[in-house]
Structure 1
Amino acid sequence: MSDAAPHHSPTEHELWKITLGELDEKMGVRILEESVERVVATMPVEGNRQSFGLLHGGASLAVGEAVGSWAAVIHASTMGKMAVGIDVSATHHRSAREGQVTITATPIHLGGTLTTHEVLITNEAGQRLCTLRITNLLRKHKH
């Protein structure tokens, strides 16, 4: 990302750059793409399975919430704001036993006060494993 103002924002704020948290690192999350329009990450199934050998639903929620929140923070940064999650819901469609999953967050609504993102988790064959929706509240950045 450059220091120039993004083309979609009339303000002179620099886009926030994703930094992995401790849980993200433990889960093996890797960032592939980050912009206001789309955030894409991957995560291995191995190390994130429950006792029956399937991708843990909690791991799906944790990574989906992280990627959706990162997308909201990137948007918020165009206005010099921060984002805090206020609602997340998920539907599990199928599971995975191995390989890696791809997590993609795209905006449903990008407002000045609230954002809502759809987050899709897919397997290596492109099949949908989980659909999340996350809403974030945008607030003034407190230093």
Structure 2
Amino acid sequence: MSPNTGQVQTILGELDERLGIEFVRVSADHAVATMPVAGNRQITGSMHGGAYCTLAETLASLAACEHAGDGRTAVGLDISATHTGRTAAGRVTATCSAIRLGKTVAVYAVEIDDEAGQRVSTARVTTILRDA
């Protein structure tokens, strides 16, 4: 299921594709993805907070699927995000780190930075793991 195996397009959902999410690295404990700001702005011209949340949940869910293993899947259970910066151009990069990798629950911290390396959003994503 890792993008390194060339299967990313079969994993992405329709919204993820529309937002332009691209994976750099995905493993159970660490994942990185980027997303363009263009096409994902709110009416004020800056990146939409919902786009940050979608990026965070997509990345954490994919990492959780890696952790769950064959025959199992991950489903988002909870997300909490704090948007601390503003960006209106370029790409953002999300870095996802495991907080807890259990048998039934995986929890991740996702930090999203703009191209200048400034933090624009931080999310905590909890996923539930279950049989596919």
TM score, norm. by length of structure 2: 0.89
Which runs of at least 4 in structure 1 moved beyond 6 Å after TM superposition?
Answer: none
Q: Which runs of 5+ in 2 are unaligned?
A: none
Match of 2:104 among 94, 113, 137: 113
Match of 1:47 in 2: 39
What percent identity do the matched residue pairs reach?
A: 47
CA offset digits 1:40-93 (Å, max 9, x no partner): 110000110001100001111111111111111110116x42111111100000
Aligned to 2:15: 23
Q: Distance in 1 between matches of 2:129 and 2:73?
A: 6
Alignment RMSD: 1.8
| Distance of 2:29 and 2:126 partners within structure 1 | 16
Distance 1:36 1:42 in 2: 18
**What residue is the counterpart of 2:69 in the other structure?**
77
SS in 2 for 1:94: coil
Give the aligned partner of residue 6 of structure 1: none
CA distance in 1, matches of 2:77, 2:87: 28
**Between structures 1 and 2, the one with greater helix share:** 2
**How big is each residue's C-alpha offset from its partner over 1:108-137, in whole Å with a ceiling of 9 and x where there is no partner?**
000011110001111111111100001111
1:135 to 123, 126, 130: 126
Report deviation, 1:37. 2.2
| Distance in 1 (alpha carbons) for counterparts of 2:104 and 2:13 | 25
> Of 70, 79, 82, which aligns to 1:88?
79
In structure 1, give the amino acid aligned to 2:30: R
**1:61 is matched with which residue?**
53
Q: What TM-score results when the alignment is normalised by the length of structure 1?
A: 0.83
More strand by share: 2
Question: Aligned with 1:98: secondary structure?
Answer: coil
| Runs of 5+ consecutive residues of structure 1 not aligned to the other structure | 3-14
SS across alignment from 1:104: strand
Corresponding residue SS for 2:55: helix
Report how many residues are paired: 127
CA distance in 1 between partners of 2:51 and 2:76 (Å): 17
2:41 aligned counterpart, secondary structure: coil
